[in-house]
Structure 1
Amino acid sequence: MLSALGSLALIAWATGVLATPVPDPMITPSPTLTKRQSACTFSGSDGAAAAMESQAICATMTLSNIAVPSGDTLDFNPPEDTTVIFAGTTTWDYAEWEGPLVRFKGSRITIKGAAGHKLNPDGARWWDGKGSNGGVTKPKFFAAHSLEDSLIENLYIENTPVHAFSISGCDNLTIRNVTIDDSAGDEAGGHNTDGFDIGSSSNVVIADAKVYNQDDCIAVNSGTNITFTGGTCSGGHGLSIGSVGGRSNNVVDTVTIKDSTISKSTNGIRVKAKSGETGEIKGVTYSGITLEAISKYGILIEQNYDGGDLHGEPTSGIPITDLTLENISGAGAVDSNGYNIAIVCGDGACSDWTWTDVTVTGGKDYGSCQNVPSGISCST
């Protein structure tokens, strides 16, 4: 007797209706990823747009004599391990806007200049003596935002409209051998031409910078483990911490400014905390600093910054602790109408200061010092 299965097979054979075999599944080959080109070069009036469009596929990008259109940011957020080289002269057309003219973010990015290059935003077109405080709207120059494990080196920048570098949200960023030459603004209305403004960043090293400007050479507004070394600063407002206060991040922790010269400037060393605000400034060291031709304050440390130096009431909401000054050379450096050292602290808000081999003379003693920590003196 046939089984039920055998009966079905016999019937299928007899009627010629056999089941069609199921075909094997079709295998689709994986798409081949486009390999990054090793080197790309962009130039001319269309070079900026072409470079930004191609940044994902070029491992090394050379920007040769590119002209950036008015109101545009040269904006890069490339893949890891990308190198961008500026060659020839990079220019920007005029527009009254906030900028920035250049912006970089990303990880393991190298930005550098070729021999003889120049980044020339021609800031004199915007200069009116008012900087960011009025007049025409002026674009900031270079936003280094959210750069990690990256390097900026060997850049020559001439005549920024206002601030040169804004460094924010960066970690493990090294900037070396960068020149910012805004010296023409001394006579032509340059203002607020800060060299390096740093906020909410960590492990930032700025080495061997040359800054000729009309505002802070460096200003650390917040961040941790910041080093500025081998700097040459001229014409500005000093080697500054702050102003601290009134921002989303108001903590400065572990900053070393060393082996640098500041000359022909309003201030030498300056630490400024805003009156009535909260935050913290701790672990700041100035070491091996040479002062020359300082017009107002050789050393200025204040907890009453209010829109200007020593303008407000000193408050204690932003303590300044563990402040070290060592090997500060400023004999005869301060103008006779200026002040050698000015310290104005809130009650109990400045402590654990160590000053060794600090010499700042040439100016007057500041007669309104307040709450000076033990072992420190406003007199020279």
Structure 2
Amino acid sequence: MSNHGDSWLLFSMVSGLTVSGNGQIDGQGPIWWENACIGTPSPALQFKRCIGLRLSGLTHVNSPRVHITITTCNDVIVSNLHIIAPETSPNTDGIDISGSVNVNIRDSIIATGDDCIAIGGGSSYIKISGIMCGPGHGISIGSLGHGGTDVVENVDVHNCTMIKTLTGVRIKTYQGGTGYANKISFTGIKFDATSAVNLSDITYRGISGTSNTDNVINLSCSKTVACTNIVVDSVHIKSAIPGRKVYGSCINACGRATHVQPYLDCLKPSTDLCNGPLS
């Protein structure tokens, strides 16, 4: 562990590190949220270039910015965390992952003002399960293609519960960016991809929950590069407001939808439109 200018607590280049217990890290965020002019707040806890990291049991409250960042790490297991910040707190992601491989995040409660979990470029073989997410934005991949080529592969998000999230689960990309995201399996509901990043083999299966938005299934892809081989199966999303109607929409999205509520008939099944047969 060392002091570092861009984080409160930093563990760097440590192999076989275990951080566990029932203690609490309080970032005392309100002073930062209310006074944005005093500077850019730092992540509360950062792990960088660690191999074999194990993080469990802790409670993280009111980080000035991101609660936990995992950067350029390999073989990571994060479990049984409780991460809390007000729904209105700015940029208080629960866990941010970038440039990391073989990361397993499971059985945690994350209720913040931004993404519960955000997966950045250069990350692969990410497993997320048993997460109680919300309120907040949800679970996100990206943003991809910002200032270069980004790649995210082999992400599996399953058995997660979204409660009053803004976007559920989504892929975020920059217009004009390059790269690709494939072999992504989601248990979320928001898919927003509006650039030239190539998105394929995306699965939403076994999803149920509520959303703060009316457009609860949004497959919004680039007008020039279609999203291909999307599967939406056994998805049931309703409004967080009792009795309010919800709907789904698509832009240049190709795949198939079965057992979906609200009814989704906008996926393009044509192999010509999808640039190849569906698997």
Q: TM-score, normalised by structure 2?
A: 0.82
Question: 2-side partners of 1:229 and 1:145: how far apart?
Answer: 23
Question: 2-side partners of 1:220 and 1:241: how far apart?
Answer: 5
Aligned residue number for residue 110 of structure 1: 18
CA offset digits 1:6-65 (Å, max 9, x no partner): xxxxxxxxxxxxxxxxxxxxxxxxxxxxxxxxxxxxxxxxxxxxxx6xxxxxxxxxxxxx
Out of 302, 311, 314, the position equivalent to 2:192 is: 302
Cα gap change, 1:253/1:341 in structure 2, threshold over 3 Å: closer, same or farther?
Answer: same
Question: 1-side partners of 2:247 and 2:134: how far apart?
Answer: 24
CA offset digits 1:274-313 (Å, max 9, x no partner): 11100111011124x6xxxxxxxxx322222xxxxxxxxx
Aligned residue number for residue 203 of structure 1: 102
CA offset digits 1:134-155 (Å, max 9, x no partner): 6643121111111101211111
Cα gap change, 1:247/1:104 in structure 2, threshold over 3 Å: closer, same or farther?
Answer: farther
Question: 2-side partners of 1:271 and 1:129: how far apart?
Answer: 31
- 8 Å contact kept, 2:143–2:174: yes
Unaligned 5+ segments in structure 1 are: 1-51, 53-72, 76-97, 290-298, 305-314
- 8 Å contact kept, 2:90–2:114: yes
Instruction: Kindly report which structure 2 residues correspond to 1:245-256, keeping only aligned pairs within 5 A, or say none.
Output: 245-246=145-146, 250-256=150-156
Higher percent of residues as helix: 1
- 8 Å contact kept, 1:176–1:209: yes
- 8 Å contact kept, 1:200–1:249: no
Question: 2-side partners of 1:248 and 1:141: how far apart?
Answer: 27
- 8 Å contact kept, 2:231–2:255: no
Instruction: Kindly report which structure 2 residues correspond to 1:132-143, keeping only aligned pairs within 5 A, or say none.
Output: 136-143=39-46
SS in 2 for 1:144: strand
Cα gap change, 1:110/1:238 in structure 2, threshold over 3 Å: closer, same or farther?
Answer: same
Does residue 27 of structure 2 align to residue 121 of structure 1? Answer: yes
SS in 1 for 2:30: helix
Question: 1-side partners of 2:115 and 2:206: how far apart?
Answer: 21
Out of 64, 69, 72, the position equivalent to 1:169 is: 72
Out of 240, 247, 255, the position equivalent to 1:365 is: 247
RMSD (CA atoms): 2.3
- 8 Å contact kept, 1:231–1:259: yes
Question: 2-side partners of 1:123 and 1:248: how far apart?
Answer: 32
SS in 2 for 1:343: strand
Instruction: Kindly report which structure 2 residues correspond to 1:52-67, keeping only aligned pairs within 5 A, or say none.
Output: none
- 8 Å contact kept, 1:99–1:141: no
Instruction: Kindly report which structure 2 residues correspond to 1:275-354, keeping only aligned pairs within 5 A, or say none.
Output: 275-287=175-187, 299-304=189-194, 315=195, 317-330=196-209, 333-335=210-212, 338-346=214-222, 347-354=224-231
Question: 2-side partners of 1:206 and 1:374: how far apart?
Answer: 28
Cα gap change, 1:246/1:218 in structure 2, threshold over 3 Å: closer, same or farther?
Answer: same
Does residue 117 of structure 2 align to residue 218 of structure 1? Answer: yes
One-letter identity of the residue aligned with 2:48? H
One-letter identity of the residue aligned with 1:278? T
Name which structure has the greater RCO, CA cutoff 8 Å, separation 6+.
Answer: 2
SS in 2 for 1:125: helix
- 8 Å contact kept, 1:167–1:198: yes
Higher percent of residues as strand: 2
One-letter identity of the residue aligned with 2:72? G
Unaligned 5+ segments in structure 2 are: 240-244, 265-279
One-letter identity of the residue aligned with 2:197? I
- 8 Å contact kept, 1:318–1:349: no
One-letter identity of the residue aligned with 1:240? S
Aligned residue number for residue 233 of structure 1: 133
